[in-house]
Amino acid sequence: MKRLLLGEHRESILSILDTTLKHWGYRVLAAHSQDRMARLIRETSPDLLIINEDWLTAGEDSEIVNTVSQSLNGGASLIILQSSQEHIVDLPHERLDVPVDIFALFSAIQKHLEKHPRQNMRLDLNLPGMICRNNKCHLGEILSLSSRGLFIKTGFRLDNREKFRIVLPLMGMKQELELTGQVLYCVHPEPKNNYQQGVGIEFIELQPHSSDLLERYIESCFMEELSHHKARNNWQTYQSTKPSNDTVVHLPIPSRGEHSPLSQAN
């Protein structure tokens, strides 16, 4: 399993990133001080470092800069988290703004840690949906959803590249989307597929308003799923500060003196 080290002195950001990355299945070690982070880097062989920008501007002679540089020479990658003031970091890196967009975080993690990275964050869920074609609508069960497409379990056959309308209820938002879809691939009922039948669908001609609604719904589902995993794994619970008309997941910026039992435990 790939190892990821997370260093951030802003406790709320550290904690929610730590929880999100663990929820995605990554092995994460988190530190809220430079000394702790430098020690973790020396004691492990990390594949990816995510570090607060301020920590890497202390000069070439600082312990944390030297330790990170050695880790990068050993094959690790570096993502820096925006601080209150932008600095020049003389190390190869990718930059994430704070508040963090959950979709940008997913894309960055995939690029650095996965051999075959996914382009879009996908959620597993069970949601009713309808495929409408030839003046008829067929009910199916949506098993996964991203901002660019979905997989729907259905009992009837569709052809590759076939186009149709799909109706997607946004449960909890009291809205539904009617989108144009196109079949990307088909899954046939065979033993290797547990006799499941369905189609992978790509959204086409997606309008900005529909895209915004879809991302808001995905974010809402993700935060609910994350809260369930926190409770089940005894993780601390945090609140999303995302406004209802925004498509960015805001990871909260802590006030001074704020502390997190989760990060201190790490």
Cβ 162 vs Cβ 185: under 8 Å: no
Within a 10 A sphere around the Cβ of 153, how many other Cβ atoms?
15
Name the strand (E) or helix (H) holding 72. Answer: helix 63-73
Length of the chain: 266
Q: What are the tokens at 127?
A: 């949601």
Q: Per DSSP, what are the bridge partners of residue 182?
A: 163, 202
AA identity, residue 78: L
Cβ 19 vs Cβ 262: under 8 Å: yes
Q: Per DSSP, what are the bridge partners of residue 175?
A: 170
Q: What is the pLDDT of residues 154-192, one digit of tens each?
A: 877 788 899 999 999 988 888 899 999 999 998 887 887
3-100 classified as CATH 3.40.50.12280: no
* Per-residue pLDDT, 12: 87
* Per-residue pLDDT, 68: 96
* Per-residue pLDDT, 57: 83
At the fourth CATH level, which superfamily is domain 123-212? Answer: predicted glycosyltransferase like domains (2.40.10.220)
* Positions of the chain with pLDDT under 50: 235-266
Residue-by-residue DSSP string for 175-192: EEEEEEEEEEEEE---GG
**Cα–Cα distances in angstroms (integers) from residue 62 to residues 55, 59, 78, 97, in the given order:** 9, 6, 17, 24
190's CB contacts (< 8 A; 6+ apart) are none
* Per-residue pLDDT, 243: 41
* Per-residue pLDDT, 74: 94
174's CB contacts (< 8 A; 6+ apart) are none
Phi, psi torsion values for 73, nearest 5 degrees: -65, -25
Q: What are the tokens at 118?
A: 């996914």
* Per-residue pLDDT, 112: 94
| For residue 208, cis peptide bond before it (omega within 30 degrees of 0) | no
Can you give the C-alpha Rg of the chain in angstroms? 21
Cβ 220 vs Cβ 239: under 8 Å: no
Q: Per DSSP, what are the bridge partners of residue 204?
A: 180
CATH code 2.40.10.220 region(s) in the chain: 123-212
CATH code 3.40.50.2300 region(s) in the chain: 3-100
Q: What is the pTM of this model?
A: 0.72
